[in-house]
Structure 1
Amino acid sequence: MIHLPDLIADLGLILAAAGFTTLVFKKIKQPLVLGYILAGILVGPYLDFLPTISDSKSIEIWGEIGVIFLLFSLGLEFSFKKLVKVGGSASITAVVKVVFLILAGYGVGKMMGWADMDSLFLGGILSISSTMITLKAFEELGIKHKKFAGLVFGVLIVEDLVAILLLVLFSTLAVSQQSAANEMLLSILKLGFFLVLWFLGGIFLIPTFLKATKKLMNDETMLVVSLALCLVMVMIAVEVGFSPALGAFIMGSILAETTQAERIEHLTKSVKDLFSAVFFVSVGMLIDPAMLTKYATPIILVTLVIILGKIIFTILGALLAGQPLKTSVQTGMSLAQIGEFSFIIATLGATLKVTSDFLYPIAVVAAAITTFTTPYLIRLSDPFHNFLIKILPKKWLDAIGRYSSGTQGITTLSDWKVLLKSYAFNTIIHSVILTAIVMLSSRYLQPFVTEKLINGHKGIIISLVASLIFMTPFLWALAIRRIERKAYTHLWLNKKYTRGPLVAIEFLRIALAIFFVGFLIYQFYSTWVALTIGLFLMVSGMFIFSRKLQSFYNKLESRFLLNLNAREAQNEQPEILPWDTHLAELTVAPESKLVGQTLIALSVREKYGVNIAMIERGKIMIPTPNRDERLYPHDKVMLIGTDDQLAAVKEMFEGSVNEHAEISFPKEDMSLQKIVINSSSPVFGQSIRNSGIRETTQGLVVGIERKGERILNPDSTLVFENGDVVWIVGNNKKVPNLLKPSTNP
């Protein structure tokens, strides 16, 4: 008789239950994640009257695979480049929200008499909002083009990285079973080191590999290669002491910077969906329905903390970051849920057996409830904002408005800030690379050479010389390379009292490079003679071959930057802007009435109060187009206006057939910026028309604040006065030139 393995039977049962529940949840228009969790409860070991899986260990393995591919897909949507560009507003909001919610979760746990580890894990579970649920809600509600959406996406990006950090810290705490500050600090430093190393190595190698093999990559091969890269990084992460989820997330974020990111995301979506379904079903299998009634009070309390805590602390963080009250409220009510990372943190605690059995089902049920409430809270954000406007004192509202306006706009950096920032970045990057080379040489290269190729003293010398050759370009960049020449020269020539600190910085750079050389040699020889000779030869070689090293390093840097910038950033997060105006991009549908018309005939500024900042036509960019420019099918038009104005003009772009115009965030070279006019400004005393702003900055004046009054869409004959605060949408590299004194060449 043929026997069917339990693994296959269990997988069939899981997918059958998941298929049935997801069809039901699709019919009632609820998130599919809830359907998967319900399917897990149905096939779990706690309901005897239904068929139950027989091999739970195998299902746990399937669930782990699901976590890997789920984090891989989140990494594909993350990208380090997006993290760098989300800006201070999203970072401050996310950090304030996470810190306060961890404290709130820990406090609530202790209030209910829970153990320290249960309370701490509860704080971590409550602190991270769900990227999947939020994006899905935004798509269903059609609000991706609204101003606050940019801040929400930025907060979610920062939270993804914070969640990875929490996984590492909680794993360390679980192993040590105590809050050892030294171990926590080492874990953070270790994570930072490997994140930088993996990012640099991945961006340098993987896009180059994909480009070289592009002609060989059909869909099947690309799928296999992508999954292989993911699992290889998973193995590397585990080897150095991190979780498999971290490795999958890192590889996804590296591939997100390549030109093949969309293709990889499309090809791996089916694999991710399958294993993610198994993971969420396995989450539901751990829920005992009897425990839900037993712990009904903690579930209700935790759910209230999630909803109220996330709304309050997100609003607080956004206000501290300088956002208007309306944007802060909309952001807070959009992030009042927990999701995939919360499940992973809860699973970590259960797997390491450091949390109680009741924590997992409480977290899952609270996540299910908050997932259900998310769309309704988003819809209620505008009424809630209007309610706050009515009940808050006018002094508070005025103070919030002044603080928000004062924290936005261009911030000029001094030469010292520019120089120190560049030097710090240069030091960190090359220190990580040099440390990695030393570790790899001592642990892998030297043993391989001496054991497999050349034994004894000669093998050690060959290993040392090879390591020094690899290190030389990066030592040169660390110690000798000139950075920010303009700022450095200005400080050296114009301010004599700064020469001492500049000389000290240069000596520090050289000393750090000498340290790394000594550190490498010390791994092979412990004698001072060998160390001194090696240092002398290395330093001499760096100065003698400085030009060749510079040329070689420039090639490495050019290759890295080429790979990093190969993919045009998509859905970039715009800076949060004044007054409730923001930038959005609409695509002209072929059936739209706009096709073939000139901008002057459309009169969108006069009719809707919307300004056209740029038109993208294929590879052609038309910044601040003139009024005789015509619109053609598939033109991407960058507009600036309020949510209501953009919603009104959006219908013109869509036409009568296309239901959803393609909306994304603006190109990185265009932004809305603030400058303050003074008597030395080159445009002082000139009218907008005669100032040459359109020609010199590719910019458009959209608003002026003068003596406490706001002038939106000012007339071109208006003359700039001293103290005017001018808002310009234009090239973010050229607008700052308006701050320079008119005497500058």
Structure 2
Amino acid sequence: MTHLPHLITDLGLILGAAGITTLLFKKLKQPLVLGYIIAGLLVGPHFALFPTIVELENINIWAEIGVIFLLFSLGLEFSFKKLVKVGGASSIMALIEVVVMLLLGYLTGKILGWTTMDSIFLGGILSISSTTIIIRAFDELGVKTQRFARLVFGVLIVEDLVAILLMVLLSTVAVSQQFAGSEMLTAVLKLAFFLLLWFLGGIFLIPTFLRKASKLMNDETLLIVSLALCLLMVILAAQAGFSPALGAFIMGSILAETTKAEKIEHLISSVKDLFGAIFFVSVGILINPAMMVTYAGPIALITIVTLLGKAISITGGGLISGQGLKTSIQSGMSVSQIGEFSFIIATLGLTLNVTSDFLYPVAVAVSAITTFTTPYMIRLSGPLYQFAERVLPERWQTSLNEYSSGTQTISTTSDWKLVLRSYLINLVVYSVIVISIVLLSAQYLNPFITQNVVEGNLGDIITTVITLVFMAPFLWALAVHHPQKEAQGRIWANRNYRSLVIVLGFARIAIAILFIGFLLNQFFSVQLAFLVGLVIAALMIIFSKRIQRFYIRIENRFLRNLNAREIHEASKMHHTITPWNVHLTSLDVAPEAEVVGKTLYELQIREKYGVNVAVIERGDRTLMAPTRNEQLFPHDKLYVFGSDEQVEAFRQFIQAKPASLPDSERENVSLQKLQIKHNSVLLQKSIRNSGIREKTKGLIVGIERRGERILNPDSEMVFQEGDIVWIVGVPRKIKSLEGGIEQVVSA
């Protein structure tokens, strides 16, 4: 008998259980994540009624792969540019919620008598909401197009980045077992350094590579290349001392800035779903039901803390940021759950052996309960707002409205703010690049040259020259480049500020010289480094124009890559006009929708629903201001302008599916073989004038004439006696053709 490895049998058991439970949960209209967890519980070692997983170690490997692809897909949806555009309101709400839940989680753990490490990890687990569950709930409830939903998406984007930061900080705390500020600051600075370096390098290299290789890439090669890039960044992150999941997230966020992002997201979805399912099933496998019964009290308490803490903190953050009472309550009631990042943080505690065994099943139980409550919490937001409106004194409501209006002002930026901000950004970005070039040169380039090319001081000199060539454009930009020339010119025009401008200029040059000294100090003595530094500074002044041209080429390429998707998707920008309470949003036309094939004039969209279709995006084409004769096709993306209520009514209309016919009323289509007789009225008539298409709704695909086969005959071809006509259509309708055409046989 052939021996089957346990890995295959365990994987078959996992996917079989997952398939059955997810079908059941789909039928019950419940989140599939819960189905996966229950499937893991059923095939885990604590449930003997069904076959049990044999080797948990192998499943843990599959689960780790699942985490990698899960975070890769989250990175594809994340995008650092989205974070910049998220706005102050979402950032304030997210940060307030994270801080409040960290404190509440820690205090709850302490009240329950847990250890400090368990309490800290509990705070991290409770602080991050579930992107997957919220998006799915918004889809099911049809509120994805409303204003508060976009605010919540911004909160989730900020939370994703905070979750990555939390994973790094919790790992640092777990390994060092210390809570010193220096340890935390070092971890944050290290994370910021590598995030910025990977993002800059990735944006400079990867979009260019994908663009140049696009002609060679079909769906298969694009999928392979994307997975390869993901796993290479995973390896790089692990080598730098970070979680592998962080590398996957970073690569996803880099690819999110490319024009291939949506296609990659589509191609990777099946891989993510497969390994993500294995990860969530492994979550269920690790659950001990007896422990959940034992800790039923703490689970109930933590669930209440999660529901109330998140709702109140997000609502409070919304009010502070001036979003109004209704939007704030809707946002707060939408994020009262924990999900995939919480599982990852709980798994991190188990992997590092710093948390107790009970914390993991407690986190899973709280996640399951809060996931079930999510749709009901969202539905409850409307009645809760109406209740608050009745209860709150009118004076308070007036104050809230005035505060909300007051926060929505157009702010002006001074010239000094523009100049100082550009100098600070330049200093941070170019410092990271220059330091990384020096460190890479000292660690890899110099050993290679001294061991394989030239030994001794000559090898150090060659290394220094090569490194300087790579550093020169960034040193020039750091010391000389003025990204805000107009603002600086206006400041210079004021004689009172010229001395400050000169001081800033000398400070930038001094920093550039310090970096040159930092390089030379890696290979030479201090005295020699100082002298060589002066020579190098003189050479940079002499070759300043060439270095400037080289830098401008680098900057233009980086900006072109960074803005490629934005330019490609310029029509996808969302604009909100607050005073009118209307906004621009996108809706997809489902392939099976009733509106497919109809024109905008036939649908009477503006007259019936009050919305305007501003743009239709069809594949790579963008139809601006479409005419009323424009037809709708499957997968069209419509950009419509209207209020929440108008957009929601229109969304339901365009996503409505035609009623399906019962099987008894459906007609089969087949290939029919017919012969023209001598008495046929179709004799000597062309295919166009015969009326066959109109009468049968069929398509003539071929004609046999005296032993010769004519495929796809021309519409002007004339029927002759003895012709055998091949028609694709409904047999019943083809049979009803006039008697001069006799059916010979059906194929």
TM-score scaled to structure 1, two decimals?
A: 0.83
For residues 570-626 of structure 1, the C-alpha deviation after alignment (integer angstroms, 9 at most, x for no partner) is 8656568346433324579555563389xxx9876xx87767777879866758x9x
* SS of aligned partner of 2:535: helix
Please say if residues 605 and 612 of structure 2, whose CA atoms lie closer than 8 Å, have aligned partners that are also in contact: no
Identify which of 553, 556, 571 aligns with 1:555.
553
Please say if residues 592 and 652 of structure 1, whose CA atoms lie closer than 8 Å, have aligned partners that are also in contact: no
Matches of 1:520 and 1:56 in 2, distance apart?
49
Hey, what does 1:526 align to over in structure 2? 525
CA gap 1:337/1:620 in 2 versus in 1, 3 angstroms: closer
Matches of 2:242 and 2:535 in 1, distance apart?
38
Please say if residues 22 and 35 of structure 2, whose CA atoms lie closer than 8 Å, have aligned partners that are also in contact: yes
CA gap 1:232/1:476 in 2 versus in 1, 3 angstroms: same
Matches of 1:576 and 1:122 in 2, distance apart?
40
* SS of aligned partner of 1:474: helix
Hey, what does 1:82 align to over in structure 2? 82
Matches of 1:289 and 1:302 in 2, distance apart?
17
Hey, what does 1:701 align to over in structure 2? none
Hey, what does 2:11 align to over in structure 1? 11
Hey, what does 1:678 align to over in structure 2? none
**Displacement, 1:409?**
3.6
CA gap 1:491/1:218 in 2 versus in 1, 3 angstroms: same
Hey, what does 1:515 align to over in structure 2? 514
Identify which of 542, 545, 559 aligns with 1:544.
542
Hey, what does 1:679 align to over in structure 2? none
Please say if residues 408 and 578 of structure 1, whose CA atoms lie closer than 8 Å, have aligned partners that are also in contact: no
Hey, what does 1:154 align to over in structure 2? 154
**Displacement, 1:280?**
0.8
Greater mean alpha carbon deviation, residues 150-159 or residues 577-586: 577-586
**Displacement, 1:408?**
1.2
For residues 687-717 of structure 1, the C-alpha deviation after alignment (integer angstroms, 9 at most, x for no partner) is xxxxxxxxxxxxxxxxxxxxxxxxxxxxxxx
CA gap 1:12/1:385 in 2 versus in 1, 3 angstroms: same
Please say if residues 31 and 371 of structure 2, whose CA atoms lie closer than 8 Å, have aligned partners that are also in contact: yes
Please say if residues 150 and 576 of structure 1, whose CA atoms lie closer than 8 Å, have aligned partners that are also in contact: no
For residues 374-394 of structure 1, the C-alpha deviation after alignment (integer angstroms, 9 at most, x for no partner) is 111111111111111011121
Alignment of 1:683-722 (within 5 A): none
Alignment of 1:30-429 (within 5 A): 30-429=30-429
* SS of aligned partner of 1:595: helix
Please say if residues 43 and 53 of structure 1, whose CA atoms lie closer than 8 Å, have aligned partners that are also in contact: yes
Matches of 1:347 and 1:196 in 2, distance apart?
27
**Displacement, 1:416?**
1.2
One-letter amino acid of the structure 2 residue matched with residue 79 of structure 1? S
* SS of aligned partner of 1:584: strand
CA gap 1:160/1:2 in 2 versus in 1, 3 angstroms: same
* SS of aligned partner of 2:600: coil
* SS of aligned partner of 1:563: helix
Matches of 2:413 and 2:172 in 1, distance apart?
39
* SS of aligned partner of 2:584: strand
Consecutive unaligned residues of structure 1, counting only runs of 5 or more, are 660-745
CA gap 1:439/1:404 in 2 versus in 1, 3 angstroms: same
One-letter amino acid of the structure 1 residue matched with residue 158 of structure 2? V
TM-score scaled to structure 2, two decimals?
A: 0.83
One-letter amino acid of the structure 2 residue matched with residue 342 of structure 1? S
Please say if residues 594 and 653 of structure 1, whose CA atoms lie closer than 8 Å, have aligned partners that are also in contact: no
**Displacement, 1:215?**
2.0
Alignment of 1:463-482 (within 5 A): 463-482=463-482
* SS of aligned partner of 2:522: helix
Matches of 2:610 and 2:51 in 1, distance apart?
62
**Displacement, 1:639?**
4.8
**Displacement, 1:496?**
2.3
Hey, what does 2:670 align to over in structure 1? none
Consecutive unaligned residues of structure 2, counting only runs of 5 or more, are 590-594, 661-747
Please tell me whether residue 644 in structure 1 is matched to residue 642 in structure 2: no
Identify which of 595, 608, 614 aligns with 2:601.
595
Please say if residues 66 and 276 of structure 1, whose CA atoms lie closer than 8 Å, have aligned partners that are also in contact: yes
Please say if residues 143 and 648 of structure 2, whose CA atoms lie closer than 8 Å, have aligned partners that are also in contact: no
CA gap 1:2/1:621 in 2 versus in 1, 3 angstroms: closer
* SS of aligned partner of 2:408: coil
Matches of 1:541 and 1:632 in 2, distance apart?
63
**Displacement, 1:194?**
0.6
Hey, what does 1:703 align to over in structure 2? none
Matches of 1:638 and 1:253 in 2, distance apart?
25
Structure label with greater radius of gyration: 2
**Displacement, 1:633?**
3.1
* SS of aligned partner of 1:583: strand
One-letter amino acid of the structure 2 residue matched with residue 28 of structure 1? L
CA gap 1:555/1:540 in 2 versus in 1, 3 angstroms: same
Matches of 2:433 and 2:412 in 1, distance apart?
32
**Displacement, 1:501?**
2.0
Matches of 1:638 and 1:226 in 2, distance apart?
30
One-letter amino acid of the structure 2 residue matched with residue 341 of structure 1? F
Matches of 2:348 and 2:270 in 1, distance apart?
25
Matches of 2:7 and 2:654 in 1, distance apart?
53
Please say if residues 90 and 155 of structure 1, whose CA atoms lie closer than 8 Å, have aligned partners that are also in contact: yes
CA gap 1:204/1:363 in 2 versus in 1, 3 angstroms: same
**Structure 1 stretches (4+) deviating beyond 4 angstroms?**
569-576, 586-593, 601-604, 607-623, 634-640, 648-659
Q: How many aligned residue pairs are there?
A: 648
Matches of 2:3 and 2:655 in 1, distance apart?
58
**Displacement, 1:657?**
5.7
Hey, what does 2:450 align to over in structure 1? 450
For residues 379-417 of structure 1, the C-alpha deviation after alignment (integer angstroms, 9 at most, x for no partner) is 111111111101112122111111111111421111111
**Displacement, 1:500?**
2.3
Matches of 1:481 and 1:539 in 2, distance apart?
16
Matches of 1:578 and 1:586 in 2, distance apart?
23
**Displacement, 1:32?**
1.0
Matches of 2:648 and 2:136 in 1, distance apart?
20
Greater mean alpha carbon deviation, residues 236-245 or residues 222-231: 222-231
* SS of aligned partner of 2:510: helix
CA gap 1:658/1:586 in 2 versus in 1, 3 angstroms: farther
One-letter amino acid of the structure 2 residue matched with residue 562 of structure 1? R
Matches of 2:382 and 2:544 in 1, distance apart?
62
CA gap 1:612/1:69 in 2 versus in 1, 3 angstroms: closer
Hey, what does 1:564 align to over in structure 2? 562
CA gap 1:47/1:338 in 2 versus in 1, 3 angstroms: same
For residues 344-395 of structure 1, the C-alpha deviation after alignment (integer angstroms, 9 at most, x for no partner) is 0000011111111111000001101111111111111111111110111212
Matches of 1:657 and 1:432 in 2, distance apart?
58
For residues 260-285 of structure 1, the C-alpha deviation after alignment (integer angstroms, 9 at most, x for no partner) is 11222222222111111111111111
Please say if residues 615 and 622 of structure 2, whose CA atoms lie closer than 8 Å, have aligned partners that are also in contact: no
One-letter amino acid of the structure 2 residue matched with residue 581 of structure 1? V
